[in-house]
Amino acid sequence: MTKSPNFDFNNDFPSDFTWGVATSSFQIEGAHDVDGKGPSIWDTFCKNKANIKDGSDGTVACDHYHRYREDVDIMASLGVDAYRFSLAWARVQPDGKGAWNEAGFGFYDRLLDALAEKNIRPHATLYHWDLPQGLQDDGGWLNRDTAHRFADYAHEVARRFGNRIEAIATHNEPWCTANLGYGNAQFAPGVVDLKQSIQVSHHLLLSHGLAMRAMREVGGAAQLGIVLNQWTADAASASEADRAMAEFEYARSVQWFMDPIFKGRYPELALRGHGANAPQVRDGDFDIIRQKIDFLGSNYYFRSWCSAANPPVPPPARHGVTDMGWEIFPEGLPELLIKLKAEYPDLPPVYITENGMANPDVVENGRVHDPARIAYVRSHLAALKEAIDAGVDVRGYFLWSLLDNFEWNSGYAKRFGIVHVDYATQQRTLKDSALWYREFIAARDNRIKT
């Protein structure tokens, strides 16, 4: 059988490798107050139009709540194996505590049915940043009790869906929840307080451990883990200041979340750097956090470029930048994964749970040409293959994102989707990158058949 040279390196991925797409609840669902859903901190955050660059909100988004069948049909047309999505906590428990909302669970029940009909495996995330406002009113993630409420929520989701979902992640990118939500106010709830952000990071980790325990009690077939945004930290020069900056950046970001889970402690370098802002940790907390996980989800978009100069020396950006202004650096992906494997001997199987790029896409004559995104994905898949060849146990790749969507404080101005969404009409248009991904997966399927 003759194969296109465009897909040659795909032939080397394991035949059971998972190819998927990813989304999150607040970014696509809309239906912000439908069927008993409670408000989330992002609903509140968006009410201040100054918080969102285009003054928009998530009240409608991609209207996925009403159009989920169309979106599942699109996934099926692409031939993906799996779909990563998140549950909106306030949809299934409006206040984050107390009564469950059966209508909210009903939506996810229907979504799981639709995925099962198309043989698409669900990978769920419990928390993708949309905390119920009721819990925020009680102190949010700064209140240690929220970690226990999260465990109650995790237990209920596992009880209902644990045998219908392939994998359940506790959190998506707790670094962002802490640092962007509480460190610089880019994200909800919009707090600027370094000490609070570091304490919040501890409570998020505690909630992860408590949720893992709660879900293990239920049993169920789902694999359990967490999704972290991760990067390499590269010094801009050989200067002592740049090297020290890079070492601290890696410690305060990647190791800060990995070490408690795999080593039962925080990295000493980061603790020293945080000084008086270091979190309050109770006896036994690390025993709770250090639960065995079945998988690690790693979200990779860019490296951290560390320059102590004033003004900072910019990265060479040899591959260009995305519409977010992020440096394209696929070389960092294998470097990161190989480093994690060396640092954490108990590292479980890894999934690349997000990877993709924002691009200023437009529909022209019914088509969306996005060659830059195709090049981005191709280069990162080739880089991922390097990590696999180096012995890292990577089991799957989820392209971010299936749909253009509400890109948090950027509003609708940044398009990450491989499917274009006209927000005025909700018309979906497969971009060239979606057609490329479909062919890429089909090349794998054809190899399995031959």
How many residues would you count in the chain? Answer: 450
Residue 393: closest CA among 329, 340, 447, 440 = 340
Element (H, E) at 86: strand 82-86
**Tokens matching residue 250:** 């890696």
**Tokens matching residue 52:** 């969102």
407 is in an annotated binding site: yes
Count of C-beta atoms within a 10 Å radius of residue 200: 26
Amino acid 127 reads: Y
408 is in an annotated binding site: yes
Residue 384: closest CA among 5, 17, 122, 15 = 17
What's the CA gap between 268 and 282, in Å, rounded?
17
Give me the catalytic one of 29, 173, 327, 335. Answer: 173
400 is in an annotated binding site: yes
φ, ψ for residue 208 (rounded to 5)?
A: -60, -50
The one-character DSSP state at 16 is T
Count of C-beta atoms within a 10 Å radius of residue 314: 10
Residue 328 φ/ψ region, left for φ over 0, alpha for ψ in the -120 to 50 degree band, beta for the rest: beta
Which residue's structure tokens are 């005025």? 424
436 is in an annotated binding site: no
172 is in an annotated binding site: yes
**Tokens matching residue 305:** 């470029």
Amino acid 271 reads: L
Q: Is 173 a catalytic residue?
A: yes
If DSSP states are collapsed to H, E and C, what string results for 28-59?
A: HCCCCCCCCCCCEHHHHHHHCHHHCCCCCCCC
Residues 154 and 105: beta-carbon distance below 8 Å: no
What's the CA gap between 213 and 210, in Å, rounded?
5
What's the CA gap between 217 and 154, in Å, rounded?
11
Give me the catalytic one of 166, 327, 335, 354. Answer: 354
Report the DSSP beta bridge partners of residue 233: 304
Count of C-beta atoms within a 10 Å radius of residue 265: 13
Residues 294 and 348: beta-carbon distance below 8 Å: yes
Which residue's structure tokens are 């032939």? 11
Element (H, E) at 375: helix 371-389
Report the DSSP beta bridge partners of residue 364: 367
Residues 29 and 85: beta-carbon distance below 8 Å: no
Q: Is 439 a catalytic residue?
A: no
Strands 121-127 and 427-430: unpaired
Binding residues for substrate: 27, 128, 172, 301, 400, 407-408
Binding residues: 27, 128, 172, 301, 400, 407-408
Residues belonging to the active site: 173, 354
